[in-house]
């Protein structure tokens, strides 16, 4: 069974890696990694393949940066050709980036010409691949986020919806998606974390920055709503400087954020602050070592809300909403604004935060459940 795993941007690599390794163990499966090229810098892409022990992508579409329509269109055009060439039986898309939606659109619309019977048997629809979405059902209910549009389109089209938690199942049912298509498998990000836990814990990256375990905050910001507006970005930078006066902060800077800081002459404003260290984006293992040892995270990332919840580390999410409400209800996550961030940090430093409890099926076994789901659907041996 030829299975395409679509990867595009930094958070996708941690989602395909455990699944790739699990599929590799099965005689019936031939997993093929398709990298769309949405992220292309070494430290946004290649370094992750190395850490996660992934082979070089079998197919690289090389689409690069662009506007939303450009990225989506380029992936569709390039991936349609790959689909016709390779005729996979199953296309697995992960997360919510532009490439996730674009690959889903291309795969859902393609119709292989039925030249022989084998092909018809092979492909369950009889004319194209099935599309499966891993991390289905997440909703922020905020359509100003490009990711929300990507989630809605992807889930509306996918044939199989693998969800991380019960709230995701409920969202899909509410949207009229048939229960038969939904399989709750848990959170695949925890599989990557568990797969590499020993290597993560062996590192002492924080020491390279003269930080002490449990005595610094980790910052990551890249959402357009936070970093594209000069006014908002400036206010955030002022707050970070102020927080860094009482808590050392380390801030690996995403390319989008670096561009915006540069354009708005805010880079030197941050550099001038001794408690705040600015870093390049880090590979997975080094970055996770900083997560494991921080006393709190300030972020707008989706994955970090989940990882901190799993590890019991307080997380302040600088957003008005989250598609991962379970990390607030059952985890260590809180939403905050530019205005409230400082007082929230102070509360956490006083030990006032929700400790959270474990979330069902966030256990490092999600890839196994996905493989079982595939073998059930396709009647694999």
Quick one: which of 4, 15, 35, 39 contacts ligand UD1 (CB under 6 A)? Answer: 39
| Neighbouring C-alpha atoms within 13 Å toward the C-beta of 162 | 27
- Of the pair 96, 169, the CB lying nearest ligand UD1 is at 96
Nearer to ligand UD1, 193 or 345 (CB): 193
Site string for ligand UD1, 302-341 (x = CB under 6 A): ----------------------------------------
The residue within the footprint of ligand UD1, chosen from 72, 98, 163, 260 (CB under 6 A), is 98
List the one residue from 3, 5, 9, 211 that touches ligand UD1 (CB under 6 A): 9
Q: Is 127 known to be catalytic?
A: no
Instruction: Rule CB under 6 A: say whether 97 interacts with ligand UD1.
Output: yes
Which residue stretch of 92-100, 109-117, 176-184, 311-319 sits at the interface with ligand UD1 (rule: CB under 6 A)?
92-100
* Minimum distance, C-beta of residue 229 to ligand UD1, in the bound complex (Å): 14
- What is d(CA 152, CA 292) in angstroms, rounded to the nearest whole number? 33
Start-end of H helices in the chain: 10-24, 46-51, 68-86, 98-109, 117-122, 146-157, 166-174, 189-195, 197-202, 205-208, 224-227, 230-244, 255-263, 267-271, 284-293, 302-311, 326-329, 341-349, 366-377
Q: Name the minimum Å distance from CB 331 to ligand UD1.
A: 19
Cα→Cα distances 181→57, 136, 173, 178, 304, Å: 29, 11, 10, 6, 28
Which lies closer to ligand UD1 via its Cβ, residue 73 or residue 146? 146
Q: Between vectors from CA 12 to CA 204 and to CA 44, what angle results, nearest 5°?
A: 55
Least separation, in Å, of the C-beta of 107 and ligand UD1? Answer: 17
Of the listed 60, 222, 254, 271, which one is catalytic? 222
- Comparing CA positions, the residue from 347, 248, 352 lying closest to residue 290 is 248
Q: In terms of CB distance, is 38 or 330 closer to ligand UD1?
A: 38
Beta carbon nearer to ligand UD1, 256 or 372: 256
C-alpha–C-alpha distance, residues 353 and 268, integer Å = 33
Does 222 sit near ligand UD1 (CB under 6 A)? yes
Interaction of residue 184 with ligand UD1, rule CB under 6 A: no
Write the DSSP assignment of 180-201 as a string of letters: GGEEE---THHHHHHHTHHHHH
Question: Could you list the residues that contact ligand UD1 (CB under 6 A)?
Answer: 9-11, 38-41, 44, 65, 96-98, 146-147, 222, 254-256, 259
């Amino acid at each position: 069974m030829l299975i395409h795993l679509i990867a595009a941007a930094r958070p996708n690599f941690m989602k395909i890696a455990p699944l790739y390794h699990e599929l590799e163990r099965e005689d019936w499966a031939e997993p093929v990694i398709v990298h769309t090229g949405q992220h292309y810098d070494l430290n946004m892409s290649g370094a992750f393949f190395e850490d996660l022990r992934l082979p070089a992508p079998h197919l690289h579409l090389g689409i690069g940066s662009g506007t939303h329509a450009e990225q989506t269109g380029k992936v569709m055009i390039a991936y349609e050709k790959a689909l016709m060439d390779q005729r996979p039986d199953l296309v697995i898309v992960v997360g919510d980036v532009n490439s996730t939606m674009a690959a889903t659109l291309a795969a859902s619309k393609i119709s292989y010409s039925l030249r022989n019977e084998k092909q018809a048997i092979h492909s369950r629809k009889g004319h194209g691949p099935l599309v499966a979405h891993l991390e289905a059902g997440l909703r922020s209910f905020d359509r100003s986020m490009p990711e929300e549009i990507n989630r809605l389109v992807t889930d509306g089209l996918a044939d199989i919806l693998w969800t991380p938690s019960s709230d995701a199942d409920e969202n899909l049912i509410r949207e009229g998606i048939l229960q038969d298509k939904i399989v709750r498998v848990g959170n695949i990000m925890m599989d990557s974390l568990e797969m590499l836990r020993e290597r993560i814990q062996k590192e002492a990256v924080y020491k390279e920055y003269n930080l002490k375990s449990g005595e610094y905050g980790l910052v990551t910001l890249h959402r357009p709503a936070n970093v594209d507006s000069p006014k908002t970005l400036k206010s955030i930078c002022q707050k970070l400087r102020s927080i860094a006066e009482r808590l050392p902060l380390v801030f690996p800077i995403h390319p989008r954020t670096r561009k915006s800081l540069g354009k708005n002459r805010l880079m030197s404003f941050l550099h001038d602050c001794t408690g705040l260290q600015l870093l390049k984006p880090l590979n997975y293992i080094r970055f996770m070592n900083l997560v494991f040892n921080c006393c709190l995270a300030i972020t707008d990332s989706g994955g970090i809300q989940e990882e901190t919840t799993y590890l019991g580390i307080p997380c302040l999410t600088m957003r008005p909403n989250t598609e991962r409400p379970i990390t607030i209800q059952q985890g260590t996550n809180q939403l905050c604004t530019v205005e409230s961030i400082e007082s929230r940090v102070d509360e956490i430093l006083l030990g006032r935060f929700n400790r959270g409890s474990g979330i069902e099926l966030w256990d490092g076994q999600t890839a196994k459940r996905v493989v079982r789901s595939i073998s059930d659907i396709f009647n694999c041996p």
